[in-house]
């Protein structure tokens, strides 16, 4: 288990670095709306492919009742996080950063969930874990940009960069928890986690990335990038 934990944390550093890079980009060269949409399309394709190629085939072999329960809990959790985000923003929690509070809370919880999922997939098969990390690294890159952009314009640079750094720490914490809690566990608990994770990531693609990407007009480039992201991860899965 120590070896698995070290391996999982080491590869997860790819996503942590991606979050910091996203934060730096947002601080020093914020992307335009169209570029954000393009990145969101690409990230959506990548995450969707990771779910389709790695998680769903394993989930498919589990008992239908377990899969249904796992998916239901996953969807309910993501909807609950969404409602929490709206409540925080409505109440103005966070003072001057109230507008960003809901988003930051949502992303923080998502980082923990993604981390646990990475940890569990490394326990099941390292190759699957690595592919999930690569897919989520692209997602986290975008979230690092989004988290910084959401903050008030007068926020200091160090405070802005603290946001993607916190995302990275939460992701690492989730990985450690996933490996430590589920080490040696088999059967139904793992099936529930995989089904839960699949539902959470599909929600991320359909209700977060693609919805936000539609805030600017769709272009052939953005559509192509979605399929390019999907094909990239699908080919990596075929070759590994």
Flag whether 25 is in a domain. Answer: no
Q: Which residue in the block uniquely carries the two structure tokens 């992307």?
A: 31
Task: Confirm whether 29 is domain-assigned.
Answer: no
Three-state SS string over 125-140 comes to CHHHHHHHHHHHHHHH
Range of the structural domain that residue 192 is part of: 2-20+34-239
Number of domains in the chain: 1
Prediction pTM value:
0.79
Question: pLDDT per position in the chain (240 positions), as tens?
Answer: 578 899 999 999 999 999 999 999 988 888 788 887 887 788 888 888 888 877 788 788 778 888 899 999 999 988 888 888 777 767 766 555 555 676 677 778 888 888 988 998 898 888 888 888 988 888 788 888 878 877 777 788 888 899 999 999 999 999 999 999 988 877 788 888 888 888 888 887 887 777 777 778 888 999 999 999 899 888 877 776
**Would 145 be classed as within a structural domain?**
yes
Q: Is residue 105 part of a domain?
A: yes
Give me 25's structure tokens: 């980009």
Q: Is residue 28 part of a domain?
A: no
**Residue 26 within a domain:** no
> Rounded to an integer, what distance in angstroms lies between the CA atom of residue 23 and that of residue 167?
10
Distance CA(215)–CA(188), nearest Å, equals 40
Flag whether 27 is in a domain. Answer: no
């Amino acid at each position: 288990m120590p070896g698995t934990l070290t391996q999982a944390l080491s590869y997860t550093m790819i996503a942590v670095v991606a979050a910091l890079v996203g934060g730096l980009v947002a601080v020093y060269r914020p992307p335009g709306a169209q570029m954000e949409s393009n990145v969101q399309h690409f990230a959506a394709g990548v995450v969707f492919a990771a779910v389709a190629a790695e998680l769903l085939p394993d989930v498919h072999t589990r008992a239908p009742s377990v899969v249904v329960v796992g998916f239901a809990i996953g969807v309910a959790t993501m909807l609950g996080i969404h409602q929490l985000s709206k409540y925080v923003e409505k109440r103005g929690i966070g003072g001057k950063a109230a507008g960003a509070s809901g988003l930051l809370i949502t992303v923080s919880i998502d980082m923990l969930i993604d981390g646990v999922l990475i940890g569990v997939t490394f326990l099941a098969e390292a190759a699957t874990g690595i592919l999930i990390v690569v897919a989520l690294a692209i997602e986290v890159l975008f979230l690092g940009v989004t988290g910084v952009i959401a903050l008030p314009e007068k926020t200091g640079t160090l405070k802005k960069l603290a946001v993607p750094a916190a995302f990275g720490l939460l992701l690492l914490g989730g990985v450690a928890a996933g490996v430590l809690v589920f080490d040696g566990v088999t059967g139904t608990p793992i099936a529930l986690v995989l089904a839960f994770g699949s539902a959470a990531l599909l929600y991320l693609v359909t209700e977060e990335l693609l919805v936000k990407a539609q805030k600017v007009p769709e272009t052939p480039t953005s559509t192509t990038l979605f399929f390019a992201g999907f094909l990239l991860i699908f080919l990596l899965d075929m070759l590994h």
